[in-house]
A and B are shown apart, each in its own frame.
Chain A
Amino acid sequence: MARDLPVRDIAVVAFGQTDHRRTSEELSEVEMLMPVLHDVLAQTGLKTTDIGFTCSGSSDYLAGRAFSFTLALDGVGAWPPISESHVEMDGAWALYEAWTKLLTGDADTALVYSYGKSSPGPLRDVLTRQLDPYYVAPLWPDSVALAALQAQALIDAGDTDEPALAAVAVRSRDVAATNSHAQLQGSVPQGEYVVRPLRTGDCPPIGDGAAAVILAAGERARELCERPAWIRGIDHRIEAHGLGVRDLTDSPSTRLAAEKAGAFERPVDTAELHAPFTSQEVVLRKALKLEGGVRVNPSGGALAANPVMAAGLIRIGEAAARIHRGESDRALAHATSGPCLQQNLVAVLEGDPR
């Protein structure tokens, strides 16, 4: 017997985010998060006690302390007790967990949030602790160096060149001028090499920020949002960790996730890609077969604001918000994790036909 397919329509009905900034040292994580939680609840008129399931994404290593997410829960106001869970991942994966929870029928609404403060520590060093702890991490190869390996592989393969990468940077920050939350807006000099071939402009800003989304199922979604952004498909895939066994010029996990999410069934009009480095947009465009007619990263993408652990959820939120506003009918959102696009999530969102 073939397995039954998921039968519930689930939509993003609200999205909120902070203004992303280089530092927010005057705020605790809870204080940074609170306004965003209030924002999405206000958009829907829901209270914490109305929410069926809550899920968050964050990383202890950014906070520099164990169990950092336990304090964020205080901001949610988990009293009376709530049905709640947490992934030590970008909030996009928290959204995935919430989506499966709604599919089971155990809840009709879900609050998803994530946050990251990169300012307390040297982010490039911190991210080296993600690597194989025995063979790679002791060498401290940092996140820019690893991305540079990927960029050089792309250039060597003839997939891009430095001027093309610079053009990605310029376009991202130019469109970010319309995004009041973005950290880098407008003309930003391409700058010196950080690690060849990547220049300052090819790298994301380091910053602090938070984001939240509310999901709702079926009729509940229509009650809460004039034009819900229906999740038509969502899938994520991981690749091998070792860079030596991967073709860095390609992203088979993104392609597979997109296929499983139904991204290739019909063209999308918008794509929000989590590509912290200009070179990674080149890889993702190829894996996702994005043609010229698709608006890529109208928010400015991760090159304009990259609060680690929230940047992926923001891509889903930005794509959904465009559908809410009627600026998109079918959008693709992508999130990534790990060195050189190791793990990738793809969601396909649609508005009701107009």
Chain B
Amino acid sequence: MSKEPVAVVGVGQTKHVAARRDVSIAGLVREAAQQALDDAELSWSDIDAVVIGKAPDFFEGVMMPELYLADALGAVGKPMLRVHTAGSVGGSTALVAANLVAARVHGTVLTLAFEKQSESNAMWGLSLPIPFQQPLLAGAGGFFAPHVRAYMRRSGAPDTVGSLVAYKDRRNALKNPYAHLHEHDITLEKVQASPMLWDPIRYSETCPSSDGACAMILTDRAGAARAPRPPAWMLGGAMRSEPTLFAGKDFVSPQAGKDCAADVYRQAGIADPRRDIDAVEMYVPFSWYEPMWLENLGFAAEGEGWKLTESGVTELDGDLPVNMSGGVLSTNPIGASGMIRFAEAALQVRGQAGEHQVDRARKVLGHAYGGGSQFFSMWLVGSESPDA
């Protein structure tokens, strides 16, 4: 049996900021959704179903907020699904929506992810202690820092690599009008001089807390034919999960991430990701995760990822640009962060990425992960349809 090809014909996102005090949660999601509809030149009545995602409900203090958001997202009378797979949720949400089209259950689907972190306190949203379980050690950085340290020891990477990533991503963000952090006076020295938060992770090597939403319109072959602007075609998509904590877990390069990437490459006919993929929007909430994921995703051999970063390969004008939009390091509405990666990948292959557009971006990977590096979701989008 064959699947229906899935195309991205509309992308929308809010300007991401620390606190959107001018809009409610409903106002925030409506803004991104309307933008995606405008991009696709469609109206609310063209949408068959809505798939929405966000990270834990405790971040806004609303249980299952999709119930309240049904009206704002034009979902009344339609199917509405709510996905939650921790930090990978934005990517997973897009994949669940894509499956509705691929399975020919629906023709055109609105998918959206958001976080309005200013309505609550993410630190405490993540730190509810329960018996017999390790808390997240005061935020995600405390959890991930030892794994970064393990990577440095294993790979022999010099301790300057993390700051290079942060400096690059923050400069890329200056070219992206939707990015949260616009640090016009950023210098490498400033990154390196920023306070140490969780050794070896410095303040400027961490992501901000953002309010923001991202939306996409996914459609079938017929819908893509009607699209006013070039569609991005989904060439492969997959999710993989493994347990949070167990003796055999490799926190530096989790097997679930490797398997997920391998599945996507198989679907998309990618033999050599380093050669066949033009750019990557990667989930990098702490700068050192760029070299780590370069290895996990097969762009570099084990222990070699930092060399790509150090040699400038991942710069906007490099041979394999990573996080052209500024990435999670510059914009982090947690539940939406994964979808922003997927959406930015789509913008690149559509040639719609504006100032941070990469020349000849024909195949771009969108990547997200969540939990204690246990949930992975990825898609590869291309400028050519899979049956072209």
Contact = CB atoms under 8 A, between A and B. Distances in A.
B41 interface: no
Given A4-B4, A61-B57, A86 B81 contact: no
A67 B102 CA distance: 29
Interface stretch (B59-67, B199-207, B311-319, B320-328): B59-67
Interface stretch (A131-139, A169-177, A265-273, A318-326): A131-139
Contact of B64 (A3, A89, A97, A235): A89
Nearest to B1: A105
B298 interface: no
A184 B32 CA distance: 46
Contact of A241 (B58, B67, B374): B67
Contacts of B1: 7-8, 105
A119 interface: no
A23 interface: no
Given A85-B92, A101-B99, A238 B80 contact: yes
A64 B263 CA distance: 35
Contact of A83 (B69, B107, B239): B239
A253 B57 CA distance: 25
Contacts of A236: 79-80
A84 B56 contact: no
B86 to A, nearest CB: 5
A59 B63 contact: yes
Interface in A44-83: 54, 59-61, 64-67, 69-71, 73-74, 77-83
A147 B127 CA distance: 34
B67 A343 contact: yes
B152 interface: no
A1 B83 CA distance: 31
B209 interface: no
Interface stretch (B186-194, B243-251, B300-308): B243-251
A134 B254 CA distance: 41
Interface stretch (B70-78, B168-176, B270-278, B353-361): B70-78
A337 B238 CA distance: 28
Tier of interface size on chain B: 35 or more
Given A73-B374, A79-B246, A100-B105, A3 B222 contact: yes
Interface in A230-248: 235-242
A64 B4 CA distance: 40
B182 interface: no
Contact of B125 (A6, A66, A73, A130): A66
B96 interface: yes
Given A66-B125, A86-B84, A100-B103, A131 B256 contact: no
A12 B128 CA distance: 37
A97 B51 CA distance: 11
B62 A100 contact: no
Contacts of A239: 70, 76-77
Given A73-B243, A239-B70, A88 B105 contact: no
Given A8-B1, A130-B63, A337-B64, A88 B83 contact: yes
A126 to B, nearest CB: 7
Interface string B1-45: 111100000000000000000001100000000000000000000
B84 A6 contact: no
B11 to A, nearest CB: 23
A127 B57 CA distance: 13
Interface in A119-161: 126-127, 129-134, 137
A106 to B, nearest CB: 8
Contacts of A130: 62-64, 67-68
Contacts of A7: 1
Contacts of B254: 81
Contacts of B81: 87, 89, 93, 96-97
A81 B238 contact: no
Contact of B243 (A28, A54, A74, A337): A74
B255 interface: yes
Contact of A65 (B130, B260, B263): B130
A103 B3 CA distance: 9
Interface string A318-354: 0000000000000000000111001100000000000
A86 B85 CA distance: 6
29 contacts: A3-B104, A3-B107, A5-B104, A60-B57, A64-B130, A65-B58, A65-B128, A66-B125, A67-B371, A77-B243, A78-B241, A81-B260, A82-B240, A83-B238, A84-B239, A84-B241, A88-B83, A104-B99, A104-B103, A127-B63, A129-B63, A132-B68, A133-B62, A137-B62, A235-B79, A241-B71, A242-B71, A337-B64, A343-B80
Closest 4 CB pairs of A and B: A66-B56, A103-B103, A81-B256, A84-B241
Interface of A: 1, 3-8, 28, 54, 59-61, 64-67, 69-71, 73-74, 77-89, 93, 96-97, 100-101, 103-106, 126-127, 129-134, 137, 235-242, 252-253, 256, 337-339, 342-343
Given A74-B246, A78-B243, A83-B240, 11 more contacts: A4-B4, A8-B1, A64-B128, A70-B244, A73-B241, A87-B81, A104-B99, A129-B57, A133-B119, A237-B78, A238-B77
Interface of B: 1-4, 24-25, 55-71, 75-86, 92, 95-96, 99-100, 102-105, 107, 119, 125-126, 128, 130, 132-133, 220, 222, 238-244, 246, 248, 254-256, 259-260, 263, 371-372, 374-375
